[in-house]
């Protein structure tokens, strides 16, 4: 978990670039780096996701943790690794996928909704828990989950996270946030994406330090 924390400490955000193309990826990531982002996720149901991951890893690999979301199989893990990805993000929790990621020394954050899923994922080697969908796991639920997991368990709400939602989840014990369509959507201008990212950064900056 220390390695994942290394990338979350400067700014506790994961940029989820669902639908991004390889051509868009470099200018988008340049802006995100400028604003302090250090973790980039390209979901596998994007256009040519492995090409985007490879391009980002080649250009920024020394400065970022880059990998894939919506990873559903062991074969997906291998393909992401071969493209230069270091991060596996899942919408579900599957011990076989977690194990495949860890054998390749990749960071893995499976999706969980219940304590049973969460403890099983950590036992399988997960580096953190993606709390998904966050629309279902409201701050009171996150607070209840935080009470039963160890204090160093990384918990990352994902799904419908907007700038005004950060404070409630942060107070409840969230470690970080996965930012999706409120940050980036296919077809948006770079200026709009920059404005979205800057709004998230300002909102995070107003929250108490831990």
Are the C-beta atoms of 140 and 112 separated by less than 8 Å? no
Q: Which 3 state secondary structure label does DSSP give 9?
A: coil
Cα of 49 vs its chain's centroid, Å: 15
Between CA 75 and CA 19 the distance in angstroms is: 21
Check 24, 30, 130, 143 and give the catalytic one.
Answer: 130
Between CA 25 and CA 86 the distance in angstroms is: 17
Between CA 110 and CA 128 the distance in angstroms is: 7
Q: At what angle do helices 139-148 and 115-123 cross, to 10 degrees?
A: 50
Of 74, 34, 43, the closest CA to residue 201 belongs to 34
Check 41, 58, 117, 135 and give the catalytic one.
Answer: 41
130 belongs to the catalytic site = yes
Query: In 4-139, which ranges are E strands?
Result: 13-16, 39-43, 65-69, 87-89, 107-109, 111-112, 129-131
41 belongs to the catalytic site = yes
Between CA 20 and CA 51 the distance in angstroms is: 11
Residue positions annotated with a catalytic role? 41, 130
């Amino acid at each position: 978990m220390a390695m994942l924390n290394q990338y979350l400490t400067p700014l506790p955000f994961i940029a989820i670039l669902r639908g991004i193309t390889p051509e868009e990826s470099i200018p988008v990531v340049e802006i995100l780096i400028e604003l302090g982002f250090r973790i980039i996720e390209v979901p596998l149901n994007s256009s040519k996701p492995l090409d985007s991951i490879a391009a980002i890893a080649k250009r920024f690999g020394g400065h970022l943790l880059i990998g894939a979301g919506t990873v559903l199989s062991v074969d997906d893990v291998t393909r992401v690794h071969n493209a230069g990805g270091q991060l596996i993000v899942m919408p579900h929790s599957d011990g076989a996928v977690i194990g495949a990621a860890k054998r390749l020394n990749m960071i893995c954050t499976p999706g969980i909704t219940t304590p049973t899923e969460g403890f099983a994922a950590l036992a399988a080697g997960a580096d953190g828990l993606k709390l998904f969908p966050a629309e279902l796991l409201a701050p009171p639920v996150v607070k209840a989950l935080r009470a039963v997991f160890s204090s160093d368990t990384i918990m990352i709400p994902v799904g419908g996270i907007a700038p005004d939602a950060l404070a409630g989840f942060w107070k409840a014990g969230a470690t970080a946030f996965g930012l999706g369509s409120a940050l980036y959507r296919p077809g948006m201008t770079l200026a709009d994406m920059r404005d979205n990212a800057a709004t998230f950064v300002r909102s995070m900056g107003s929250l108490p330090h831990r």
